[in-house]
Amino acid sequence: MSEESAEAGGVARRTVLKWGAIGGAGVALATAQGVGVPFLAQKGFLSPDGAFAATAEVLSDGGLYIENFPTSPLILSPFTDPLPVPKALHPEPQTLIASPDPPGPGFGQQNSLHNETHQLWPTDIPPDKGGPYPEPILYKIDVQLRTHSFTTSQVMPIDKNGRPTESFDESGKRVAAGKRTLPPSTIHGFNGTFPGPMINAEYGKPALVRFENHLEENPLNLDRMDFGSPDHTFLTHLHNGHTAAESDGNPHYAMTAGPQHEGFRAGQSVDQLYLNWPAGGDDREKQSFFWFHDHVMDHTSANVYKGQVGLYPIYDPKDGMDMGDERQGLRLPGVRTDNPDGSFDVKYDIPLVFFDCRLDDGVTIHKDFHDGLGEFPAAGNPRTHPEWWGKTFFKHFPNHGFVGDIFTVNGITTPVLNVDRRKYRFRFLDASVSRIYEFKLMSSTRGPRSSASLGYGGDELQGQFRIEDAQQSMRFTQIATDGGLMPFPLTRDSFELWPAKRREVIIDFTRYMDGTPTTKGDVIYLTNVMKMTTGRMWDKSTRFGLDPKYKVPVLKFVIGDNAPDNSVMPAPDKLLRELPPLPANWRSMLDNRLIFEVQRGSAGGEIEWLINGKPFDPHNVLRSLKNRAGNSPPASQKKGSFNLWEIRNGGGGWVHPVHFHQEEHRTVMRNGKDVTVTPERGHPDDVSREDLAALDPGESVIFYRGFRGFTGPYVAHCHNLMHEDHAMMFGWEITP
């Protein structure tokens, strides 16, 4: 669906039409009654201002949601595929400069529609903000229809009880139970790969990335299947760069300017300018690990799940502090090689992208709420797709979110990394749709066993393997969060990784946590101990009644030979990155703070997930709930200002990772308690800067943040991508 945004009786047509499709019969109903508003109004679903009333009639879940998921085939040779270690993408200045639309600061030079101009070209960054910066390094990324394989291992098709079962070939014919080779899955990948490219960036050296839509081309004659943005648009967001609105790739911007559509269509391109410039020109605002991913309105989950994930570590060369050279600055692990084209690679500094998926078993019916909208008519849903056996299975609108039963790291399930016997830096990213992880470093005598062989079935098969005898044997030294290097390192037995969050750690492979040295050939498993069988929240974790048998190895480290190591493990009191200042009078700003409450709307359907009682409206900014000063200010901030914002989880029994675009925030209060006094004793997210507030059921977080550098429309939203796509998002803006 690509409805225009015309208002119909105070409600965007998009909302009405999509909502009207509930249960499949809704389209007919909406058509029969014109725009459908009378139908909704008669039913009492509309409040006077046109929003869906949170007190509206509760629709039963039956008929709306189909919670059946396939059981993925069992990987027969786990921990044999090597972990892919990304290399830096090479710049392409010639390609871009020779193109019909060369990049530049001139009018209309920001996209192929020629209707947008870069707000701030790097050479125009003012001297008092650290400028001028040099001309940007030019990269090109094509969004392409290609394939990806999650394993090279043979697989055994199993049923939900873990027993071998029949499967299907590409023509849909039955294949008797037994070993199979897994067919590759269809992706919409950045440069056709999953994960997509990694750009190694540096503060002070801007990058311009031209994203170009090639999704209409199908050189491999692939079946497009039944998920991904139906009109093949893309919209890329660099999460969470300090970026001008026109380069931010968010739907509040895209629906009102630039493409004036959910995203950029086939053949279109956009030059996203990443200034690699800290907020306010302040070194204390520097970050260390971004990623870029799709952000098309209503289809972000499907597009990310279909492969639109890329990596963007950012280094800080100032005083050699964090430039990927362990002989300088903070001496964090990393051995840098500068390439002739200006890019560089850093050995011993490895991003780890976590992503869970499900593979089609050929017998699970593809039946989705969105079928009523005719989004993928060629799929002929609802029906089974035996011809898609072994390929990624997606459901756009499950009740509880989407969690997979196959866990992957850098695009490969159960990979192995042979490590030198020294220290490494790992950059963790959760690129999953809904899954939260909790990681530990464990040793196991018996090694991994398939959950099926251990007698598990159903949801307990998620992750496929367990190391039930395993014990924690190493610790992580956490050095960075979403917001970059922390003020001091944290020693962690385990840490949680919520969707879109980043955590960077140092692992010392020379010794165990009890001090004994490792030896060549020793094996350590990075292990997920959070059991999360639905997208609602965890079932079991360290904080909530750990299941001692749920130890799912996701990555195997094998220790090799000694190697030179000039890095230094930072001492517990080592200053890594100073926090930006908090005004002494921040408490005086509390009464007039902006308040946003995420909640589950009782109307259900496409607008199941609300903020301040409203579904996402891409054309307007949301208003705050009434604060203690008696105001309900709009989420509109002046450029250069700072404010306190509160985000509350109003729904019981659900967790929400809520992400705020543009600047990192610093939590000042959690659940009514001042956390600025002794942050190290509280929640680990409160010691440093973040761009995503991880909200437990009922939690409230108040944070301080700035609005510097640019003007324009931005968004904040739940990063459980199912929630985001079903309206848990709001528009806000920075005004001149």
- Closest separation in Å from C-beta 102 to Cu ion: 41
- Closest separation in Å from C-beta 656 to Cu ion: 3
500: left (phi over 0), alpha (psi -120 to 50) or beta: left
CB-nearer residue toward Cu ion: 215 or 695: 695
| Environment class of 131 (CB within 10 Å of its CB; exposed 0-12, middle 13-18, buried 19+) | middle
Q: Give the integer Cα–Cα distance in Å for 350 and 339.
A: 18
Q: Give the integer Cα–Cα distance in Å for 349 and 36.
A: 55
Q: Are 718 and 657 in contact (CB under 8 A)?
A: yes
Pairing state between β 185-190 and 180-181: unpaired
CB-nearer residue toward Cu ion: 21 or 611: 611
Tokens 């898609």 belong to residue: 388
Helix, strand, coil shares of the chain, percent, nearest 5, are: 10, 35, 55
- Closest separation in Å from C-beta 723 to Cu ion: 3
- Closest separation in Å from C-beta 401 to Cu ion: 8
- Closest separation in Å from C-beta 492 to Cu ion: 25
H-helix or E-strand spanning residue 645: strand 641-649
CB-nearer residue toward Cu ion: 26 or 398: 398
- Closest separation in Å from C-beta 609 to Cu ion: 6
- Compute how many other C-beta atoms are within 10 angstroms of the C-beta atom of residue 181: 11
Residues of the shown chain interacting with Cu ion in the complex, contacts defined by CB under 5 A:
656, 718, 720, 723
Residue ranges of alpha helices (H) inside 191-292 are 251-254
- Closest separation in Å from C-beta 598 to Cu ion: 6
- Closest separation in Å from C-beta 603 to Cu ion: 16
Q: Are 211 and 254 in contact (CB under 8 A)?
A: no
Closest C-alpha among 219, 267, 270, 230 to residue 249? 270
CB-nearer residue toward Cu ion: 688 or 720: 720
CB-nearer residue toward Cu ion: 466 or 723: 723
CB-nearer residue toward Cu ion: 540 or 656: 656
- Closest separation in Å from C-beta 690 to Cu ion: 16
CB-nearer residue toward Cu ion: 488 or 498: 498
- Closest separation in Å from C-beta 435 to Cu ion: 13
Q: Are 450 and 414 in contact (CB under 8 A)?
A: no
CB-nearer residue toward Cu ion: 309 or 500: 500
- Closest separation in Å from C-beta 728 to Cu ion: 5
Closest C-alpha among 116, 122, 119, 109 to residue 244? 119
Q: Which amino acid is at 121?
A: W
CB-nearer residue toward Cu ion: 180 or 501: 501
Q: Give the integer Cα–Cα distance in Å for 44 and 52.
A: 9
Residue 665 pairs in a beta bridge with 690
**Residue by residue, what is the 3-state secondary structure of 594-624?**
EEEEEEECCCCHHHCEEECCECCCCCCECEC
CB-nearer residue toward Cu ion: 478 or 541: 541
CB-nearer residue toward Cu ion: 272 or 720: 720
Closest C-alpha among 655, 400, 703, 646 to residue 543? 655
- Compute how many other C-beta atoms are within 10 angstroms of the C-beta atom of residue 523: 17
CA angle, 256 then 258 then 262, to 5°: 65
